[in-house]
């Protein structure tokens, strides 16, 4: 079982990328589980065609301990098992705590034993890497972390912070940095900037996703590109990235 955490700045296209990777792996006959670790709880929405997944924090608030694994997940495109951590009531509580609760509950309820996934994706907001947000990196969860960035300065800055956190955690048995995914925004010197980031942290670009309006068109249909436009060049880019991650 490959356990992969994907981090990146909010708005960088992280959840869209992860969902397309999940769909690509599903089409390769892999059993996939995608766990959204963002308070917005929208990581899996393209896989479920817009249907919400009950978040773990909602279930805990409403039912305490009186809920089952089936209440926590929804089966999406390609039989991808979708779960969402969720967030606290606005103004109350810690968003990072939701991630901790979700991952602990999924393990406690036997999710990995029941579904036996070949690949688990943790889709994590990467503007901060502390407390609960570092949970997917910890021993027993993800084995590798991939960081998504564009060449935009704030995205590069966030990616550098994530890479630094991974570096600082290396002696604790945490997940290792698998590489950088460049999600292009067509800004000046984009690849040059991301290659410089890679050099700073002794890693590599594991995949380049071109800027393509077809991504937004698929989102309007509440689908991944893999499902909506399977023969497109963008779908091929996601498939190439998935194969690169599988063979890493």
Instruction: Give the closest residue to 228 by CA, choosing from 77, 22, 123, 14.
Output: 77
Report the DSSP beta bridge partners of residue 8: 125, 148
For this structure, is 116 an active site residue?
Answer: no
CB atoms within 10 A of CB 61: 13
E strands of 9-118, at which residues? 32-37, 73-75, 81-84
Catalytic-role residue among 3, 14, 30, 105: 14
**Per-residue tokens: 91:** 């103004």
What DSSP character marks residue 17? H
For this structure, is 40 an active site residue?
Answer: yes
From residue 53, alpha-carbon distances to 74, 75, 123, 224 in Å are 6, 9, 15, 17
For this structure, is 171 an active site residue?
Answer: no
Catalytic-role residue among 2, 31, 40, 184: 40
Q: Burial level of 62, CB count in 10 A (0-12/13-18/19+)?
A: exposed
Catalytic-role residue among 9, 30, 74, 193: 9
For this structure, is 9 an active site residue?
Answer: yes
First to last CA, the chain: 13
What sign does the CA torsion over 186, 25, 129, 99 have? positive
Catalytic-role residue among 42, 71, 118, 127: 127
From residue 9, alpha-carbon distances to 6, 43, 108, 128, 132 in Å are 10, 14, 30, 9, 16
E strands of 23-139, at which residues? 32-37, 73-75, 81-84, 119-125
> Which residues are known catalytic residues?
9, 14, 40, 127
């Amino acid at each position: 079982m490959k356990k992969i955490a994907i981090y990146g700045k909010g708005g960088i296209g992280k959840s869209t990328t992860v969902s397309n990777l999940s769909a690509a792996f599903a089409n390769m006959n892999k059993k996939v589980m995608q766990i959204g670790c963002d308070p917005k709880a929208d990581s899996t929405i393209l896989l479920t065609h817009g249907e919400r997944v009950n978040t773990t924090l909602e279930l805990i608030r409403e039912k305490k301990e009186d809920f089952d694994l089936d209440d926590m997940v929804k089966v999406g495109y390609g039989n991808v098992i979708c779960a969402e951590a969720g967030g606290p009531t606005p103004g109350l509580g810690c968003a990072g705590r939701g991630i901790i609760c979700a991952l602990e509950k999924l393990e406690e309820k036997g999710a990995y034993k029941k579904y036996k996934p070949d690949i688990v994706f943790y889709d994590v907001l990467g503007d901060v890497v502390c407390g609960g947000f570092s949970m997917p990196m910890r021993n027993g969860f993800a084995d590798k972390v991939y960081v998504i960035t564009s060449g935009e300065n704030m995205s590069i800055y966030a990616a550098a912070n994530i890479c630094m956190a991974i570096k600082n955690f290396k002696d604790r048995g945490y997940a290792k940095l698998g590489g950088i995914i460049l999600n292009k925004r067509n800004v000046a010197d984009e690849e040059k900037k991301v290659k410089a980031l890679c050099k700073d942290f002794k890693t590599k670009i594991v995949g380049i996703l071109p800027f393509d309006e077809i991504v937004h068109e698929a989102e309007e249909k509440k689908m991944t590109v893999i499902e909506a436009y399977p023969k497109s060049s963008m779908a091929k880019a996601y498939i190439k990235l998935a194969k690169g991650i599988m063979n890493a």
